[in-house]
Amino acid sequence: MTEKKPTLYLIDASSYMYRAFYAMRQRLTAPDGTPTQAVYGFHQMLQKVLKDKRPERICVVYDPPGPTLRHAIYPDYKATRERMPEDLVVQVPLIKRMVDLLGIPSVEITGYEADDVIAALARKAVEAGMPVVIVSGDKDLHQLVREPHVIQWDPQRDEVFTGETVERKLGVRPEQVRDLLALMGDSSDNIPGVAGVGLKTAQNLLRQFGSLDQVLSRVEDIQSPALRKKIEEGKEAALLSRDLVTVREDAPVALEPDQCVVRPADTKALVEFFQSLGFRRFLDELAREAGDQALAAATEAPERRDRLVTDEKGLSLVLARIAEADVLSIDLETTSQDAMRADLVGVALCWKDHEAAYIPVGHTGEDAGQQIPPARTLDALRPLLEGDRPKKVGQNIKYEWVVLKRHGVELQGIDFDTMVASYLLDPGNPSHRLERIVAEHLGESKLRYSDVAGSGRNQIPFAQVPLEKAVDYACSDAETTYRLVPVLREKLQEAGLLDLMESLERPLIPVLARMEHKGIRIDAARLQELSKTLEEGLRKEEEVIHQIAGGPFNIQSPIQLRDVLFGKLQLPVIKKTKTGPSTDMSVLEELAALHPIAEHIVAYRSLAKLKNTYVDTLPKLIHPETGRIHTSYNQAVTATGRLSSSDPNLQNIPIRTEEGRRIREAFVPEEGCVLLAADYSQIELRIFAHYSGDERLVAAFSEGADIHRRTAAEMFGVPPHEVTPEMRRQAKTINFGIIYGMGPYGLAKQLRINQASAKAAIDRYFATYQGVKRWIEQVVEESRKRGYAETLLGRRRYLPELKSRNRNVRQQGERLAVNTTIQGTAADLIKKAMIDIDAAIRQEGLRTAMLLQVHDELVFEVPEDELDRVRTLVKDLMENVHPLSVPLVVDMGWGANWAEAHG
């Protein structure tokens, strides 16, 4: 009879250091400024292992500094990998100290990577009859999995890798993993693999032959001649790659598995350690654990209690529970991502930690059974949804607002949006999806949509998801959102962003929702006419181009176009893209002097762009019920704080060319209304003047001067009335260039002058506006010190580039610091104006509707009898949105279409 041995947990430290470091884009720092996010993340991972598994045997395995055996075999090993970022380097000793203080054994062996040490320890453990769990998410370690003795577990994603799951993920058994990697290579470690063989091919080969050795010795059995050639030529690389990816078991580890015992933590030192790093939450946890064990057990999180509501009795029970709640998290399940086209499938609600309900109203699956009809459900919920209490929270709750509005419910009392909060905390992060937010801020993994509805071709509509799974998914979304709210609110508070959230971004949500829901009317007939005209023009241009080229080709194909221009016609290459000679506008303009085809291609491109992108697309997007076009405004996309618009993007409708303006003529008001356009004049330059306090710039704006003319006059030292159009054009280009941080090179290209003249012009500009130069230097320095750029209303954008040792990256950061401050402040101001105007419209009971926002412009649909009032109101609220040291000026126009409104 054998005694049952405790399981040994082997923790792959490096992968969690990196992951914690990069997962938290939000820079966590100790009071003394030391970056700490990797320490924080590492601790969370350790706690999850300790709490979930209560391991009796555990060891943290570090990668040693310096080269390893693999570098001896292959000098380029991991050569493409960037050096560990300085901000992470300083955290490594902190992590090691924390592990020691927690009483967790650890090991690091010079010349042997952590993977090899883990393999050696695992082998020892298995020989001693001890089960092993490798704690890592790394696919290289899949090769060590041997059920039942050795499995792999990633606590952060809560993924367990057994033989079966490895096979599902990689398509091969664990013992084949190294051969798989040897064939396909691994770019992150600079493992070559066989050229031209990717994951799929490697899988197929191993499925057919079983192992790399078999593949190589039976290469003549490979069906495809092309593949056979690749394998023959890649044989050496494959064998070298296998050497590199194979985890060795012979590392000289003195530590015995039985010695890997957790010692008592040094609580006193840990408290000091956490204090020095400013980890308040961990201190709280530590205090709780040090106190009453029974009490701690009682506060352990209970399982979520989900309720499936399919009848009136269940519904009234849930309503009664919610009536006592302060906060209600809402997540609608629907048939579409597009709020204007979505039908209700179900309503998920959470009003308390671990208490959530799902009310299916439109499931069609076989087990759908009895459901309360949507209308009845919404009527029952109406008092809750349309009242101020409970306070409503959600993830992108604007979506819920629009869907509910279309179902006759006007959501009130919006208190928090987790997507917007995550965005404010780090607008540079490309994703604010719930799944990612939950991973970052709760350190949990979430049930994914694909987990309940399948993925790819097998994906089914949510309405067909069996109720049992639907409840689980919908409630977990509503509940994680609910639990995120206090966490995110606290973080906003700590970062000084809560006020921006509560006074700007939150009140903006219903304003944007109303704009999206209202939509804008389109004159489809007008666009169809325009389409015919464009079609005609395209046909003519195409004919000419084909004739000049001496034969037909696809003008819209950059590759074919390249062949014609630089092959057939032997025109000079002006500029290159990653893949070959460029054919973009600036190139074609230069080529126009050499060959007539260039200008025809420009004309063709321009017509095709208008037709394909706007004229033929917009009519298709007219909503069948409203007859209007409904864009989506995204509040959590841009790095600077601007809104973006999509599906369709109504923020890039042409205006600069005559044909472009024809498209704006198709944006029309409702009968009895006019379109009113109000745009901030030179808002970004005015913000520049405000911030820099430059006397001349401020004076120019205060006097209401033509800013470009004035700039030209100052720069060229002539009176304003002697400024020539060319001088004004140059000054205008510089004025805009300054906002983007343009250098002599860029300005020279733009103005078609030489670089020396461009540099002289910039020098003259800064000599004229000395305050501007000083301010740019100052804002760069402050941003570098803080680590982020900050706008007028306190919005932040983190700029790690400012601390880069690479000059190009650093200069990029400097441009971003300047531009973000200016562009972001302009965004702050117009957002506030939108809120003020919306409030006034409602306050005064006007029928006017705000329809569009285009960064510095607002477009309204105004009943004719309200025009006078609305003109005054809008101008007044926009110009006085926030006091600056220069006046804000708003230009307005109105008319029977959007083009006229720009009169």
Partner DNA sequence: TGGGACCCGTAC
Partner DNA sequence: GACGTACGGGTCCCAC
Residues that bind DNA (CB under 7 A): 198, 200-201, 456-457, 554, 556-560, 577-580, 582-585, 588, 602, 605-606, 608-610, 612-613, 617, 634, 637-640, 642, 644-649, 651-657, 660, 737, 740-743, 745-747, 749-750, 808, 812, 815-816, 819-820, 823, 854-857
If you search the block for the tokens 């709490």, which residue do you land on?
A: 51
If you search the block for the tokens 């901030």, which residue do you land on?
A: 680
Least separation in angstroms between CB 806 and DNA? 10
- The DSSP 8-state label assigned to residue 204 in this structure reads H
Token readout for 164 is: 């079966």
Least separation in angstroms between CB 656 and DNA? 4
Least separation in angstroms between CB 45 and DNA? 28
Least separation in angstroms between CB 892 and DNA? 15
CB 561 within 8 A of CB 601: yes
Residue 820's nearest CA partner among 843, 847, 802, 838 is: 802
- Give the other-Cβ count within 10 Å of 378's Cβ: 19
Pairing type for strands 632-634 and 391-394 reads unpaired
Measured in whole angstroms, the distance separating CA 839 from the mean position of its chain's CA atoms is 31
Q: Is the CB of 375 or the CB of 655 nearer to DNA?
A: 655
Least separation in angstroms between CB 535 and DNA? 13
| Separation between Cα atoms, residue 279 and residue 34, nearest integer Å | 12
Q: Is the CB of 529 or the CB of 647 nearer to DNA?
A: 647
Q: Is the CB of 85 or the CB of 558 nearer to DNA?
A: 558
CB 244 within 8 A of CB 73: yes
Least separation in angstroms between CB 759 and DNA? 11
Least separation in angstroms between CB 192 and DNA? 17
Measured in whole angstroms, the distance separating CA 515 from the mean position of its chain's CA atoms is 24
Q: Is the CB of 535 or the CB of 647 nearer to DNA?
A: 647
If you search the block for the tokens 């760069």, which residue do you land on?
A: 780
Q: Is the CB of 70 or the CB of 832 nearer to DNA?
A: 832
Q: Is the CB of 584 or the CB of 722 nearer to DNA?
A: 584
Token readout for 423 is: 């965005």
Q: Is the CB of 554 or the CB of 778 nearer to DNA?
A: 554
CB 27 within 8 A of CB 798: yes
CB 122 within 8 A of CB 410: no
**Based on C-alpha coordinates, what's the Rg of the chain?**
32
Task: Put the strands of the sheet holding 327-334 in their side by side order.
Answer: 305-308, 355-360, 344-352, 327-334, 391-394, 414-417
Q: Is the CB of 362 or the CB of 824 nearer to DNA?
A: 824
Q: Is the CB of 398 or the CB of 489 nearer to DNA?
A: 398
Q: Is the CB of 584 or the CB of 868 nearer to DNA?
A: 584
Least separation in angstroms between CB 613 and DNA? 4
C-alpha distances in angstroms, 798 versus 70, 84, 793, 795?
37, 20, 16, 10
User: Which are the contacts of 316, defined by CB distance < 8 A and separation ≥ 6?
Assistant: none
Q: What are phi and psi of 366, to 5 degrees?
A: -65, -30
Least separation in angstroms between CB 391 and DNA? 29
Pairing type for strands 57-61 and 8-12 reads parallel
Q: Is the CB of 238 or the CB of 683 nearer to DNA?
A: 683
Least separation in angstroms between CB 611 and DNA? 8
| Separation between Cα atoms, residue 13 and residue 45, nearest integer Å | 10
Least separation in angstroms between CB 844 and DNA? 28
If you search the block for the tokens 């194979």, which residue do you land on?
A: 246
Which residue type does 575 have? K
- Give the other-Cβ count within 10 Å of 603's Cβ: 17
